[in-house]
Amino acid sequence: MERIGRILDLARWAPSGDNTQPWRFEIVSDTHIVVHGSDTRLTVVYDLRGHASQLAIGVLLEYLSIAASGWNLRCDIVYRQPSGNGDDPHPTFDVRFEDDPSLPTDPLFPCLKTRSVNRNPLGTHPLTPVEKDTLSGLLGPRFSGYRVRWIEGWSRKAELARILQRCGKLRLTIPEAYRVHRQVIAWRSRFSEDRIPDRALGLSPVILPLMEWIMGRWERVRFFNRFLGGTLIPRLQLDILPALFCSAHFVLLAPLPPRSPDAFVEAGRVLARFWLGVTKLGLQFQPETTPLIFRAYHKEGIPFSGNPEAPATARKIAGSLDLLLPDGEMDRAVFLGRVGRGKPPSARSLRLPLDRLRVDG
């Protein structure tokens, strides 16, 4: 049982959108656990159909598998596929561990805990061909058909900066996102077990107190947005500067446009290897998922906000994003982010302790 505890203690460092940690662990025996996933689609506008949570659960499963390799244990993971329409708000997985003395420790093992998000502007020195090959190599061969597309050079980065600042404006002006941000930001902190500390947001410490005060009430947010250009500084710091100051942005493509929860879970496993690989190369990483999410709302014609301007903004985001890749490739996109050189962040999300993540059967 001790081994399982240590494996779970490492695996819980898997990243999740807004640090929601949408999983609980049931320890059945010393060779079998059940991962009970859930999603936040009913409360989080960024979790369209639970896809963000499903990606995170996939990352967690890959984390489990990499952690287990450190004890020469092979993981056999089986999805308890629900009957019905395939939509599954509670994806559940049986994970069985099997001794295999010939199994080497996964080379990504040392990065499980050190991998993190860096939302600050980063160095702009381009990625080398060796770095790119190393990262592309991590997408296969176990998960075949995944590809990475790089968005590099000042003009392409500027185009993405334009898209991201549009997303930023949307995020800062729709009440649905406001409700999420109120829940997930831990103000005046560098570390948080179940949220994102404000110091890790990428905003300068000088404006954080003002942001905290504004975010205290939706009426203040609306007033600042309407009369004082309230979104300007946050958009500059959260979206525009980080988008320009990085080595490259990347789009992860699945073999086919993902639709089902298990397709997103599998994409999450690929994402885990890619993100850990970036860490192993000593590079910094930040997800930039909102363009894909607002694009999906637009493409699927799903209303997502009471703000009447939101659908038109999502349409513009989708249109500009599609122009970044040829031949409709954006339909296969599962993740968007940026990488660059820099120091690791001094503030980061922590995780709930293992005893709070454990459930009984």
Ligand X SMILES: Cc1cc2nc3c(=O)[nH]c(=O)nc-3n(C[C@H](O)[C@H](O)[C@H](O)COP(=O)(O)O)c2cc1C
- Residues between 333 and 352 that touch ligand X (CB under 6 A): 348-349
- Residues between 288 and 307 that touch ligand X (CB under 6 A): 288-290
Neighbour-count burial for 90-129, b at 16+ CB within 10 Å, e otherwise = ebbbebebeeeeebeebebbebbeebbbbbbbbeeeebee
Of the pair 73, 313, the CB lying nearest ligand X is at: 313
Q: What is the DSSP string of 142-177?
A: SSTT-EEEEE-SHHHHHHHHHHHHHHHHHHHH-HHH
Candidate list 286, 313, 321, 347; residue touching ligand X; CB under 6 A: 286
Distance CA 128, CA 125 (A): 9
- Residues between 27 and 86 that touch ligand X (CB under 6 A): 52, 55-56, 59
Q: What is the DSSP string of 178-210?
A: HHHHHHHEETT-SEESSSEEGGGSS--TTTHHH
137 contact partners, CB below 8 Å, separation of at least 6: none
Whole-number minimum distance, CB 271 to ligand X, in Å? Answer: 7
42 contact partners, CB below 8 Å, separation of at least 6: none
Q: Which amino acid is at 182?
A: R
How many residues bind to ligand X according to rule CB under 6 A? 20
Distance CA 207, CA 204 (A): 6
Whole-number minimum distance, CB 117 to ligand X, in Å? Answer: 4
Candidates 16-24, 126-134, 142-150, 226-234: pick the segment binding ligand X (CB under 6 A).
16-24
Candidate list 4, 7, 11, 16; residue touching ligand X; CB under 6 A: 16
Candidates 10-18, 63-71, 135-143, 318-326: pick the segment binding ligand X (CB under 6 A).
10-18
Closest Cα partner for 256 from 135, 146, 140? 146
Candidate list 18, 88, 159, 239; residue touching ligand X; CB under 6 A: 18
The residue with its CB nearest to ligand X is 15
Would you state the structure tokens that stand for residue 193, as one six-digit string? 């077990």
Candidates 11-19, 60-68, 87-95, 151-159: pick the segment binding ligand X (CB under 6 A).
11-19
Q: Does 278 bind ligand X (CB under 6 A)?
A: no
- Residues between 185 and 244 that touch ligand X (CB under 6 A): 196
Under the rule (CB under 6 A), what is the footprint of ligand X? 15-19, 52, 55-56, 59, 116-117, 119, 196, 286-290, 348-349
